[in-house]
């Protein structure tokens, strides 16, 4: 029987066996009283499920200008808490230092088999607002929008043939006038390039394909997964109007 020989790289989701970010794994280790595994300095109570491990207090960004070293007081940088913030953290401009998940803080957590609409609904639960699927919808929304910024949601659908369970990815509009976007791929560095190294000018046409490499035991083929643009959303007042963990 073929098996996955290493962990898939996710942009937004958390692996169930991630000893740093998996809430259920932390809860199990707590029952077993293994303090060496319980490494998070904070635990946040959420409406559904076990407490969420958090590695530093939440920092809300003051500006969405593309400035990685300053955004959220540098919490997205490797000298601070880069591995503990994902695409959702960066897109919303809120460094929770917990690998934030849509809906988790507001009682609408994503479950196994979630759909793209489920991600949107969870984000709306957190305080984000649905905009639409076209650039015209974004521009029309911007004409009457209060202080805040836009984000784009990409979805990678499950593929059982390669054991891929699916994932989501978010990008952030840093400057509406210049149409400049940026993103943070999982625990990786912040960048204003897409996955092919091109400046992000339009998330709906950017390259969001990832080569996961050799993943399946006994199969010499690389596994490729792609994220497709799904919709634009609005984040009120640079994250002050949302509630995530």
List, for residues 156-207, the tens digit of each pLDDT value: 999 988 889 999 999 999 999 999 999 999 999 999 999 999 999 999 999 9
* Residue 14 included in any domain: no
pLDDT at 240 over 90: no
Q: Which of 36, 27, 64, 57 is nearest to 150 (CA)?
A: 64
Average pLDDT taken over every residue of the chain: 93
User: How many other CB atoms are there within 10 angstroms of residue 240's CB atom?
Assistant: 15
Confidence (pLDDT) at 157: 96
How many folded domains does the chain comprise?
1
d(CA 109, CA 105): 8
Task: Evaluate whether residue 34 is within a structural domain.
Answer: yes
Domain that holds residue 109: 23-239
CA dihedral 117, 13, 186, 91 (to 10 degrees): 30
pLDDT tens track for 131-160: 999 999 999 999 988 899 999 999 999 998
- Look up residue 61 and give its two tokens: 């960004």
Q: Is residue 245 part of a domain?
A: no
Looking at residue 1, its pLDDT comes to 54
The pLDDT > 90 percentage for the chain reads: 78
Q: Is residue 76 part of a domain?
A: yes
Yes or no: say if 189 and 206 are a contact pair by the CB < 8 Å rule.
no
Q: For tokens 């904070």, name the residue.
A: 42
Q: What is the pLDDT of residue 11?
A: 97
Domain assignment present for 129: yes
- Indicate if the pLDDT at residue 239 is higher than 70: no
Question: What are the residues whose beta carbons fall under 8 Å from the beta carbon of 163, sequence distance 6 or more?
Answer: 4, 8, 215, 216
Residue 170 covered by a domain: yes
Asked if residue 6 belongs to a domain, the reply is no
Within a domain: 1: no
Tell me the per-residue pLDDT of 85-109, one tens digit each, with 9 for 90 and over: 999 999 999 999 999 999 999 999 9
């Amino acid at each position: 029987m073929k098996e996955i020989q290493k962990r898939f790289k996710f942009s937004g989701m958390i692996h169930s066996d991630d000893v740093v970010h998996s809430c259920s794994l932390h809860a199990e280790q707590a029952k077993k009283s293994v303090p060496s595994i319980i490494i998070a300095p904070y635990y946040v109570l959420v409406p559904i499920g076990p407490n969420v491990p958090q590695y530093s207090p939440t920092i809300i960004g003051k500006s969405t200008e593309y400035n990685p070293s300053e955004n959220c007081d540098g919490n997205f940088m490797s000298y601070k808490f880069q591995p503990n913030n994902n695409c959702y953290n960066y897109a919303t401009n809120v460094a929770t230092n917990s690998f934030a998940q849509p809906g988790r803080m507001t009682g609408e957590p994503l479950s196994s088999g979630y759909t793209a609409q489920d991600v949107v609904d969870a984000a709306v639960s957190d305080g984000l607002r649905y905009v639409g699927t076209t650039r015209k919808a974004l521009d029309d929304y911007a004409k009457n929008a209060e202080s805040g910024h836009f984000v784009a949601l990409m979805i990678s659908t499950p593929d059982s043939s390669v054991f891929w369970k699916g994932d989501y990815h978010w990008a952030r509009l840093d400057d509406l006038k210049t149409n400049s976007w940026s993103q943070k791929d999982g625990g990786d560095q912040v960048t204003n390039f897409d996955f092919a190294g091109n400046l992000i000018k339009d998330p709906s046409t950017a390259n969001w394909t990832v080569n996961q490499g050799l993943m399946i035991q006994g199969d010499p083929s690389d596994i490729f997964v792609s994220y497709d643009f799904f919709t634009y959303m609005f984040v009120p007042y640079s994250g002050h109007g949302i509630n995530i963990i």
